[in-house]
């Protein structure tokens, strides 16, 4: 065998050389298969992942452009038609519930909606008898919808119409398993009067695009920073030395309020992108005392506006 041709010392040398060669080959293979493809793609922009818009009847990013609707006075209704549960009320309530409540309270009203899991306190389980804050009777749920539960994520739904609140309430009671459960005679009487009271209004509605156009037309850009002021303060001098574009500088300072915390944060936010913020590159060499002077000057000017 191989011992015939080499002695044991030479064999050891041979084997260790072989080991080194194999090791080098493994490292090279790893380099070629992991590092090289990574380098090749390093400068390629990441493929954008499509973000599916959330679509709901009135949810966030809802692309629905509803028509302009002027607020109007709703004619008073006979409270009896809203207090007695009916299929018409619960059907309408179901639709409202799915658009406004389901994310927290869950499809079956057990407080297990997708958004409910992370909420503290948990959304009410309508089927549980215990633990209600206002209670599950008709006047109680009406109160919850009018006022919300302060200190929890249960908001007031006071912008809905009385009829819509009643529709929701009957659907909630149906989910909970006590349809039509009324409250004390006094509470029911008070609710009846509230429902019958005239003068209920709906609010004006305008499409989202119109609201955005309105915001844009009302936007007033800040006036440019005055860099050749009549007063000769140390800050004014620094300002003259560092500001290249007074309009940009005024805009960038107006856009972010953090710089107002102190000279250090001012320095940080200006230097993030000095030219883009309307300052020149020498701003990076300002001494702490100069930042302080600049800070005092900016505060003085931008606060008196
Ligand atoms: C953002 C989550 C969220 C949404 C949306 C939400 N709720 Fe709630 N709701 C809660 C939480 C949390 C509580 C529990 C508050 C507590 O523990 O007192 C609650 C409690 C309630 C209660 C029980 C009140 C009581 O007396 O204890 C009712 C009834 C109720 N919600 C109805 C509704 C209806 C109807 C809607 C839709 C119009 C709705 N909620 C939408 C989070 C939500």
**What confidence tens digit (pLDDT) does each residue in 78-136 have?**
999 999 999 999 999 999 999 999 999 999 999 999 888 888 899 999 999 899 999 99
Identify which has the larger pLDDT, 41 or 185. Answer: 185
Average pLDDT over residues 17-45: 79
Backbone angles phi, psi at 139, to 5 degrees: -65, -30
- Whether the Cβ atoms of residue 144 and residue 135 lie closer than 8 Å to each other: no
132 within ligand 1 shell (Cβ under 6 A) = yes
Here the tokens at position 29 are: 């293979």
φ, ψ (nearest 5 deg) of residue 45:
-65, 145
Look at residues 147, 154, 97 and name the one whose alpha carbon lies nearest to residue 120.
Answer: 154
Mean pLDDT calculated for residue range 258-287? 89
Give the number of C-alpha atoms closer than 13 A to the C-alpha of residue 146, restricted to the C-beta side: 13
pLDDT of 98 reads 94
59 lines ligand 1 (CB under 6 A): no
Q: What tens digit of pLDDT does each residue of 215-254 get? A: 777 777 777 777 665 667 888 888 888 888 888 888 888 8
How far does the centroid of ligand 1 lie from the alpha carbon of residue 192, in Å? 23
Distance 61 CA to ligand 1 centre (A): 23
Q: Please give the distance, rounded to the nearest whole angstrom, from the Cα atom of residue 124 to the centre of ligand 1.
A: 6
Q: Is 127 in the pocket of ligand 1 (CB under 6 A)?
A: no
Are the C-beta atoms of 149 and 137 separated by less than 8 Å?
no
Q: Whose CA is nearest to atom 20 of ligand 1?
A: 124
| Binding site membership of 275 for ligand 1 (Cβ less than 6 Å) | no
Could you count the other beta carbons within 10 Å of the beta carbon of residue 155? 13
Nearest ligand 1 atom, CA 134: 26
Short-list 193, 213, 266, 248, CA closest to 68: 213
Instruction: Output the pLDDT for position 235.
Output: 86
Q: Whose CA is nearest to atom 43 of ligand 1?
A: 154
CA distance linking residue 174 with residue 147, whole number of Å: 21
The finding on whether 169 has its CB within 6 A of some atom of ligand 1 is no
Ligand 1 center from residue 152 Cα (angstroms):
9
Separation of first and last alpha carbons in the chain: 97
Q: 């009846």: which residue's tokens?
A: 192
Mean pLDDT for the chain overall: 84
CA–CA dist 238, 119 (Å, integer): 50
Asked whether 175 and 126 are in contact (CB, 8 A), the reply is yes
Distance between Cα 145 and ligand 1 center (Å): 8
| pLDDT for 232 | 75
Alpha carbon of 131 to ligand 1 centroid (Å): 12
The neighbour count for residue 136, using CB atoms within 10 Å, is 21
Q: Which residues contact 86 (CB under 8 A, 6 or more apart)?
A: 170
Q: Is the pLDDT of residue 54 over 50?
A: no
Work out the pLDDT band at 148, boundaries 50, 70, 90.
Answer: very high
């Amino acid at each position: 065998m191989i011992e015939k041709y080499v002695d044991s010392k030479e064999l050891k040398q041979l084997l260790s050389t072989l080991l080194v060669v194999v090791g080098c080959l493994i490292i090279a293979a790893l380099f070629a298969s992991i590092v090289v493809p990574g380098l090749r793609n390093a400068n390629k922009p990441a493929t954008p992942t499509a973000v599916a818009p959330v679509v709901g009847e009135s949810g966030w990013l809802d692309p629905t452009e509803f028509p302009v609707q002027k607020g109007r006075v709703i004619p008073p209704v006979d409270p009896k038609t809203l207090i007695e549960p009916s299929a018409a009320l619960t059907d309408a309530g179901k639709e409202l519930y799915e658009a406004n409540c389901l994310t927290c309270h869950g499809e079956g009203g057990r407080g297990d909606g997708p958004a409910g899991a992370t909420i503290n306190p948990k959304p009410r389980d309508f089927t549980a008898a215990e633990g209600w804050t206002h209670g599950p009777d008709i006047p109680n749920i009406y109160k919850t919808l009018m006022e919300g539960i302060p200190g929890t994520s249960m908001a007031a739904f006071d912008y809905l119409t009385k009829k819509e609140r009643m529709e929701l309430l009957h659907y909630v009671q149906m989910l909970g398993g006590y349809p039509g459960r009324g409250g004390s005679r006094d509470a029911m009487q008070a609710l009846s009067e509230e429902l019958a009271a005239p003068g209920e209004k709906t609010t004006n509605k305008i499409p989202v695009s119109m609201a955005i156009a309105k915001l844009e037309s009302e936007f007033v850009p800040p006036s440019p920073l005055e860099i050749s002021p009549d007063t000769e303060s140390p800050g004014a001098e620094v300002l003259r030395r560092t500001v290249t574009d007074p309009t940009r500088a005024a805009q960038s300072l107006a856009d972010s309020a953090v710089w107002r915390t102190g000279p250090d944060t001012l320095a940080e936010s200006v230097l993030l992108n000095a030219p883009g913020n309307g300052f020149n590159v020498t701003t990076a060499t300002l001494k702490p005392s100069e930042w302080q002077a600049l800070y005092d000057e900016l505060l003085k000017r931008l606060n008196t506006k």
